[in-house]
Amino acid sequence: MVRIADVIKLDKKLVLASSSARRKKLLEMLGFEFEVISPDIDEQQISNEIYDFSLKVIEVAKAKALKVSQLINYESIILSADTIVVLDGMVLTKPVDEYEAKIMLKKLSNRTHLVFTGLALLHTPSFTYKTCFRRTEVSFRQIEEQEIDAYILSGSPLDKAGAYGIQDDFGAVFVKSVNGCFYNIVGLPIEAFYSSLKQFINELENKR
């Protein structure tokens, strides 16, 4: 069976600079073989003074890729990503505890919020890079307190920006509509990654 990874013909090692199980699963779905190296950076320190949400996620994604590039000594393309949830101009990060998760989900109930994901592709050893971002509008239905409590008991909201994952059973039934890339909400906009990787490979070939 031919996979997307077979079509793109990547001849360099692909490294995923992320600890996200969701991003890993999406890359596997496309048929890519890759190494996973989790970057250790202070995302808040990088993004706190950046007020443009698209630039915020791009800069954090770039920082993740650069951090991982320091840990490898072979030719590669490093893929990194950063996702944020924005409601009323405020960024909803990963909740620190169940109480904060409940507050976030109550705020999202019956409202429309935005999800931004920035991607960075970094080639080593040349340190050439390519970035892009995607923006998606997500509308929640009115969610009941018992539904929020049940979702929090699952533990799933605690490792997700905005305290929900659309791929979860609860997350899926909370979402009323999506305007934009669905996979952007999961954390890896697949079309953006595929298109950017194709262009990046061509750019690297043309520089030879």
Query: How far apart are the C-alpha atoms of 111 and 124, rounded to whole Å?
Result: 42
* Domain residue spans of the chain: 4-206
112 vs 155, residue with greater confidence: 112
pLDDT of the residue at 95: 93
Q: Any alpha helices (H) in 70-118, and if so which ranges?
A: 98-108
User: pLDDT tens digit string along 24-63?
Assistant: 999 999 999 999 999 988 777 777 777 899 999 999 999 9
pLDDT of the residue at 176: 95
Banded pLDDT at 189 (limits 50, 70, 90) = very high
Q: Is the pLDDT of residue 124 over 90?
A: yes
Q: In the predicted model, what is the mean pLDDT of residues 109-135?
A: 96
Banded pLDDT at 68 (limits 50, 70, 90) = very high
pLDDT of the residue at 51: 80
Query: How far apart are the C-alpha atoms of 65 and 63, rounded to whole Å?
Result: 5
Q: Is the pLDDT of residue 125 over 90?
A: yes
State what percent of residues in the chain have pLDDT above 70. 100
Catalytic residue among 42, 82, 97, 149: 82
Query: How far apart are the C-alpha atoms of 115 and 65, rounded to whole Å?
Result: 21
CATH class of 4-206: alpha beta
The verdict on whether 82 is a catalytic residue reads: yes
Nearest 10 degrees: Cα torsion 24, 44, 121, 39? -50
pLDDT of the residue at 75: 94
Contact 117, 188 (CB under 8 A): yes
